[in-house]
A and B are shown apart, each in its own frame.
Chain A
């Protein structure tokens, strides 16, 4: 790559952080100079990014342990409807969260049995899970379509911090699930890189045979990671149906499950980078509303997230020589 910056620059891991800071500063300056409400834009960005972050962390864990789960869309969809069902049944949004987590985890367990125990091929099995989850959510949701949901998560501004211009609205004026997401990003980053468990997980995805002979229970680790992926995908779905647009509508996940899988690759399998990457994708969703004001047809703008996904992934593949994907990704492990 020739041009303004060398390719070496792009290969450094910090480029995403740098990029995020530049965008933030640019928005800050614009909002001060022109009175443009960058805070609201960033706030929508954060909200759009939250389900993507949650789903991506789960998928990162599953893929790092060597199992690719393409059923995220199905699990998110089921999570979304179960969130509504649980909230209505228990008259409490937390009831919805519990049910959707359980549902996502259960679907992932079923998938795990197919691909870990019976060593089924992961791509078709994942697509099967996608169809199953999507259909299941449609069946359960029949009687909930358009039902107004009185139980949802209100915004809780964090005192003092929420008053910082732009940044306050961006990060500290959200519902509790967003704050929990911040916490989860840190926790799962910590587990992955600072604990023995994280080492086991990563070694399982790199070389299950070696991990096994070192005493790691490859099957247990894989089951745990796949189920965690389902749990977080369920939570992401519940976020959509309980916090973002309270209520259920068929097809409300609208391809976010596939964006999650792209984000997993885009983040090069790192939870912290997934957070920043999700902000980029979330920004695209938020930017749609902005561009709509300029008179571009809504449905042409609707192509943006998908086009950006292709472009962003292409950029990652073009600028990085090695992606660092888990070596044993997609390969079933068989104990000889």
Chain B
């Protein structure tokens, strides 16, 4: 008998193989449960949770303009969460997307404002993209190197690199790159020739969106069909077995960290060149609360999408809606921190819910003795 429990005339039986339908169901259930669990907090603050949630929903998905806003927000999330999904698939705990995005954004801003390559041509935009991607890639790859060759815990390494990147951004914005005219820590606006094109009447910078969707599909195929993807999956399931099978852990870690770093770097470029058109604090997220950084939000998205790039892309759109809704909360006088609470709670519940996916409910009478 495999772990059988009986209660209320039904019993739990171990599920022999994971089921996609149940997994999706649990993902959705955990998110709804988190909304329910966070209602008392909102009530305590004196807001009607149903009003708050319906307002959030309306702002995120009600009408064309709202959906366009949500899609704009989803662009960096799709990129970053695809990288996060890839690394979590390999059980490489890369939570450094925040720092990698910042480094990408810094590199792009440098090209557009401070480099000798400001000729306002398409090549300049290409250079911004390439350097931004490389900066994110390097920032991720260093962490991978330190983790693999020295052994320092990946969570710690990537977090420390996040903090260092934030301090570096702060230094640039308060020091050499500060806009001279005003007191706030912003750079000058980027020249319009270095902006990414947008779909008219919206803020959707479509080159980044296309790149995001392309990389999601590519990663999905690589994970599913190619040798590299197989190696990554085996590495994630069982490192000892991977070593025994001759899979180089250095190769897997460096490749995974490079890819997810590059995607985060691209997301950083997109935010600067496509949306904000200047470098500022919080360029890698959507709020003052630092847990609202896309890097942290993407952690949850990756798990919500079961560490599958395609699933993560769909989840990105949903969570982008939550973030947009969260911004509308500011108007109601509630802090963005509510979003952090909801997402944190949802991640905890999702982790607890994995337990449920291991079992299936069977009616007692259908079991022959």
A115 to B340, CA, bound (A): 20
Given contacts A131-B347, A135-B339, A261-B156, contact A303 B163 (CB under 8 A): yes
Among A118, A265, A314, point to the contact of B354 (Cβ < 8 A).
A118
Q: How far is the CA of A125 from the CA of B350 in the complex (A)?
A: 8
Does B22 make an interface contact (CB < 8 A)? Answer: no
**Nearest A residue (CB) for B88:** A124
Q: Which residues of B contact A149 (CB under 8 A)?
A: none
Quick one: given A297-B175, A299-B170, A300-B167, are A129 and B348 in contact (CB under 8 Å)?
yes
Q: Any chain A CB within 8 A of the CB of B351?
A: yes
* Chain B: minimal CB distance from A288 (Å): 12
Query: Quick check: is B361 within 8 A (CB to CB) of the other chain?
Result: no
> A123–B348 Cα gap in the complex (Å)?
10
Q: Which residues of B contact A131 (CB under 8 A)?
A: 291, 296, 300, 340-341, 343-344, 347
- Cross-interface CB contact of A310 among B160, B299, B352, cutoff 8 Å: B160
Q: Of B175, B303, B340, which contacts A135 at CB under 8 A? A: B340
Q: Are A138 and B354 in contact (CB under 8 A)?
A: no
Interface string of A56-78 (1 = CB under 8 A from B): 00000000000000100010000
Q: Does A142 contact B (CB under 8 A)?
A: yes
Assembly CA distance A238 to B340 (angstroms):
21
Whether B338 is near chain A, meaning CB under 8 Å from some CB there, is yes
- Given A125-B347, A131-B291, A310-B146: A139 touches B167 (CB 8 Å cut-off): no
Give chain A interface residues in 86-116, CB to chain B under 8 Å: 110-111, 113-115
Report whether B289 and A302 are in contact in the complex, using a CB–CB cutoff of 8 Å. Answer: no
B174 at the interface (CB under 8 A from A): yes
Contacts of A39 in B (CB 8 A): none
Per the bound structure, the CA–CA distance linking A258 and B338 in Å amounts to 22
Q: Cβ of A24: which chain B residues have Cβ within 8 Å of it? A: none
Q: Assess whether B345 is interfacial by the CB under 8 Å rule.
A: yes
Interface core residue of A119, A309, A310 (most chain B CB under 10 Å): A310
Among candidates A115, A128, A137, residue contacting B347 with C-beta atoms closer than 8 Å? A128
| Chain B proximity mask over A252-272: 1 for CB below 8 Å, otherwise 0 | 000100100110010000000
Whether A299 pairs with B347 at a CB distance below 8 angstroms is: no
A16 at the binding interface (Cβ < 8 Å): no
- Measured CA separation A146–B355 after assembly (Å): 43
Among A110, A135, A261, A302, point to the contact of B341 (Cβ < 8 A).
A135
Contact (Cβ within 8 A) A120 B355: yes
Q: In the complex, what residue of chain A is closest to B156 when comparing beta carbons?
A: A262
Instruction: Give the complex CA separation of A125 and B347 in angstroms.
Output: 6
Q: How far is the CA of A137 from the CA of B290 in the complex (A)?
A: 12
Number of interface residues of B (CB under 8 A): 53
Instruction: Contact check, A111 vs B167: say whether CB atoms are below 8 A apart.
Output: no
Q: Please tell me if the beta carbons of B348 and A128 are within 8 angstroms of each other in the complex.
A: yes
Those of B308-346 within 8 Å (CB) of chain A: 335-346
State whether A135 touches B167 (Cβ < 8 A).
no
Segment 246-274 of B: residues with Cβ below 8 Å from A: none
Out of B41, B150, B159, B351, name the residue touching A120 (CB < 8 Å). Answer: B351
- Whether B340 lies near A124 (C-beta < 8 A) is no
Q: Within the assembled complex, what's the spacing in Å between the Cα atoms of A85 and B341? A: 19
- Scan residues 285-300 of chain A and give those whose CB is less than 8 A from a CB of chain B: 297, 299-300
Chain A residues with CB under 8 Å of B296's CB are 127, 131
Rounded to whole angstroms, the CA-CA distance of A153 and B146 in the bound complex is 41
Residues in A whose Cβ lies below 8 Å from that of B151: 317
Minimum CB distance partner of B143 in chain A: A310
Select one of A130, A139, A300 contacting B45, CB under 8 A.
Answer: A139
Which among A124, A127, A131, A137 has the highest number of chain B CB atoms within 10 Å? A131
Scoring B residues 143 to 169 as 1 if CB is less than 8 Å from chain A, else 0, what string do you get? 000100011110111011101100110
Closest Cβ of chain B to A261, distance in Å, is: 6
Complex Cα distance, B183 from A151, in Å, reads 35
A278–chain B nearest beta-carbon distance, Å? 16
Using A120-B351, A127-B95 as known contacts, say yes or no to A306 and B338 having CB atoms under 8 A apart. Answer: no
Instruction: Tell whether A27 is near chain B: CB-to-CB under 8 Å.
Output: no
Nearest B residue (CB) for A138:
B337
Q: Is the CB of A303 within 8 A of B337?
A: no
B347 close to A302 (CB less than 8 A): no
A313 to B341, CA, bound (A): 31
Contacts of B45 in A (CB 8 A): 139
* Interface: A227 (CB within 8 A): no
Shortest CB distance A272–B (Å): 22
Which residue of chain A is the closest to B346 with respect to CB atoms?
A128
A123 partner residues in chain B, CB cutoff 8 A: 93, 155
| Interface assignment of B171: CB less than 8 Å from any CB of chain A | yes
Chain B contacts of A207 at CB under 8 A? none
Partner of B300, one of A111, A114, A128, A255: A128
A208 within 8 A of B: no
CA gap between A131 and B319 in the complex, in Å: 15
Contact pick for B344, options A129, A251, A309, CB 8 Å: A129
Across the interface, do A307 and B351 meet the contact criterion of CB distance under 8 Å? no
Residue B245, interface by CB 8 Å: no
> Is A134 in contact with B152, judged by CB distance below 8 angstroms?
no
In the bound complex, do residue B152 and residue A313 qualify as a contact, i.e. CB atoms below 8 Å apart?
Answer: yes
Kindly state whether residue B50 has any CB partner on chain A within 8 Å.
no
- Establish whether residues A110 and B348, one from each chain, have CB atoms under 8 Å apart when the complex forms: yes
Distance of A118 Cα from B151 Cα, bound (Å): 30
Contacting residue for A307 out of B41, B160, B289, CB 8 A: B160
- The answer to whether the Cβ of B221 comes within 8 Å of any Cβ in the partner chain is no
A to B CB contacts below 8 Å, 15 in the list? A118-B354, A127-B347, A131-B291, A131-B347, A132-B341, A134-B290, A135-B340, A135-B343, A139-B41, A258-B156, A297-B171, A300-B167, A303-B163, A306-B160, A306-B161
What 7 pairs between A and B have smallest CB-CB spacing? A132-B344, A135-B340, A138-B337, A128-B347, A120-B351, A131-B344, A135-B341
Instruction: List 4 additional contacts besides A139-B335, A310-B157; criterion CB under 8 Å.
Output: A118-B354, A131-B296, A258-B163, A302-B170
Residues of A within 8 A of B (CB): 70, 74, 110-111, 113-115, 118-121, 123-125, 127-139, 142, 250-251, 255, 258, 261-262, 265, 297, 299-300, 302-303, 306-307, 309-310, 313-314, 317-318
Write the residues of chain B forming the contact surface with A, with a CB cutoff of 8 angstroms: 41, 45, 88, 93, 95, 146, 150-153, 155-157, 159-161, 163-164, 167-168, 170-171, 174-175, 288-291, 296, 299-300, 303, 335-355
